[in-house]
Amino acid sequence: MKKIHNIRTNYQFGSLSKSDLAYSPIKQFKDWFSQIINLMTEPTAMTLSTYSKRYGVDSRIVLLKEIKQDGFIFYTNYNSVKGKQISSNNNVSLSFFWPELQRQVRVNGLAFKLSDAYSTRYFKSRPKKSQISACISQQSEVVLSRNLMEKQFNLMCQQFKNKSIPKPDYWGGYKVKPSCIEFWQGRKDRLHDRFIYEKKDKKWVINRLYP
């Protein structure tokens, strides 16, 4: 096997200058996202990091479901580990890595629950079997076997064969409202381009960072 320390990529797909950047980080994110959306198998995948005293920093992949002018939306089980961690400390970070264009976006901000009505509208738009999975999953809890989980799933499929499925109270969305967003473009010889947007007096200030 090739030695890990010898695995290298010389980034050279593009560059980024301050004059390239949009006035707001959300606009800049949308511009980059529009370029990657058809190049990746799962372009909406993002790393969500949360914190608790018990586990420290906890990271996992979730899916971006909407980009709003004031933040990024995803959905989950509120009783999951991440839901409980956000409930006690809503400081979170998001990270997107798009190797196809050698780019990374990092977001720091606060996560807020969406209204039940907003979450319900999205829940109803999901495929029916995805709705059922959300209903039967006690996310992050121990399950005795996959067989048990599949039995619960199949039973609910039969129960709601010709019925609409109500959204569980414990399932819904969060909006992450950013306080800072960093855009990273890989460059050769590790002289990467990095720019950070930071909110100061309700305005976005942009600075270049050392790589």
Cα–Cα distance for residue pair 106/52, rounded to 1 Å: 20
List the structure tokens of 49. Answer: 């990091």
Task: List the catalytic residue out of 54, 121, 190, 208.
Answer: 190
What is the sign of the dihedral through the CA atoms of 112, 118, 123 and 126? Answer: negative
Q: Is 111 left (phi over 0), alpha (psi -120 to 50) or beta?
A: beta
Is residue 54 flagged as an active site residue? no
Cα–Cα distance for residue pair 32/14, rounded to 1 Å: 12
Residues forming the active site: 190
